[in-house]
Structure 1
Amino acid sequence: MSKDILKDIKGAIIDLDGTILDSAWVWDKVDEEFLGARGFDVPEHYVETISPMGAEKAAIYTREEFGLHNESVEEIVAEWFEMAKKEYRDDIVCKPFTKEYIKFLYDNNVRLSVATSSDRELFIPTLKREGILGYFSEIVTVDDVPAGKHSPDIYLECARRMGVAPSECAVFEDILTAVKSAKEGCFITVGVMDKKSLHNREKIEEIADLYIESFKDIL
């Protein structure tokens, strides 16, 4: 489908990690170091499984999956955050043409919100440093809604806060689970290419209303 599908949108809901932030490498490193220190390799579908979850639910899953019963959920989350904090503060940047597209939407009076499984403690410094925090009127994380990105809840909450109907709002996501959920919520869905989700590219392209390699494709 053509990018014309985005011509009349009144709202845009944008994921962070893998969609506008080039951050997959950080979580690959965290997963490898965290599990490696406990004698485990990263299983094939581990990242795909925990990506739609918030930190707490991902820690609960990890604790049960690897039998880490001598570690609390709070301790696991704290260790992950400590491992990732410096990279979010100093090193993670926006993907090419992301900032230009966000500014384009803002300048054309499109309401903007963030929908993320990440934690404010991590991503707020990144968005500030990259100069795009002020463009977003709303920031919603999976901790603000009953379910993670396996459900449309987070996108519906963003739309509600922006005062925009789902049918007039585009959701930009890089993972299959999230694209499916946005579609279930009756949003216009845009799949965004990211290396970590290339194995699901064909399925994402089938479901999404539009698939882009880069935000340059829709500028």
Structure 2
Amino acid sequence: MAVDVVTFSRPEKHNALNLDHLKEVYKRFRSCENPVVIYGEPSFCSGIDVDYVGVAGKDEILEFAELANNFILDICRYPKPVVAFVKGYALGAGFSIALACDAIIAEESAVFSTGFAKLGIAPDMGVSYLLPRAVGLKRALKLLFSAERFDARKALELGIVSEFGTLEDAKRMAEELNGPSVRYIKELVYRDMAEHVEHEKELALRSIMELRGFEQG
């Protein structure tokens, strides 16, 4: 069985996201037809590019937010398994993308963080919906409030990481999880997610606009 592989493509920035990079990755994902593995070198994705956030115009930020949240929802709606293979950093937006996947295979050296609180912005891209469901409410709140970095072993203990392994292991898992009921299971599990993510996006945008001094509305 074929597996489609979607890769991030800004290795010099540990695959931090600006608008152009997000568009590239999202386009690759939307072209997939088989079970999917998402990964990046030397890191999965180190989150939104902080330098980019500091100079992007208001319209760009709005477009980024719309695309980023649509990407998360599309991963959760995708009718076949989506597996993240995480090495290096999965921070902020990168953590959200990995968490939206149906399983995470990680190298033992991987590093995770919700990240958003470090930037003084509201959580985004589904993380406030997905994380409590993965680790429980109180653990999720601690990880969101502190934005602490934690290693792959802790992520495994929390139930965020499915197992340690390689890119080939992630492909194998994507194949093994595939089946005729996947689309129905995901529809049930994520049935109320879109409304939550829309509200999350509004709060994230408000916090970014305040940070940048843009007028609201």
The answer to whether TM tops 0.5 is no
What TM-score do you get using the length of structure 2 for normalisation? Answer: 0.30
Which structure would you say has the larger Rg?
A: 1
Question: Whose relative contact order is higher, 1 or 2, with alpha carbons under 8 Å and at least 6 apart?
Answer: 1
